[in-house]
Amino acid sequence: MKPARILTFKCAKCTKPVKVFLQKVSACSHIQPYQGICACGEVKRHATGSPDAVKSYIESTDGNWHHHH
């Protein structure tokens, strides 16, 4: 089953809907990272997959995150 390409969440800052898009950071099946930016400017990250990889991605603060084996 392929992961969804776009997901929608409520912004933590302004509560408006924000769409996050599947990122092409890795062909690895351990994680499917998503990222989007709300109209208010708040960056929203989401991921599914390996708990350690998801935690690392959600806690990263820049756009240079990569999953390493």
pLDDT digits over 4-57, tens only?
899 999 999 999 999 999 987 555 778 899 999 999 999 999 999 999 989 999
Asked: is 6-59 a CATH 3.30.2310 domain? The reply is no
> Integer distance in angstroms from the first to the last C-alpha of the chain?
23
Whether residue 3 contacts residue 32, with contact meaning beta carbons closer than 8 Å, is answered with yes
Strand order in the sheet with 43-49: 6-10, 17-22, 31-37, 43-49
Whether residue 45 contacts residue 58, with contact meaning beta carbons closer than 8 Å, is answered with yes
Residue 13's closest CA among 37, 47, 48, 46? 37
The model's pTM: 0.82
Higher pLDDT, 61 or 51: 51
pLDDT above 70 (res 67): no
Whether residue 65 contacts residue 33, with contact meaning beta carbons closer than 8 Å, is answered with yes
The reported pLDDT for the residue numbered 35 is 94
Domain map (residue ranges) of the chain: 6-59
Higher pLDDT, 60 or 7: 7
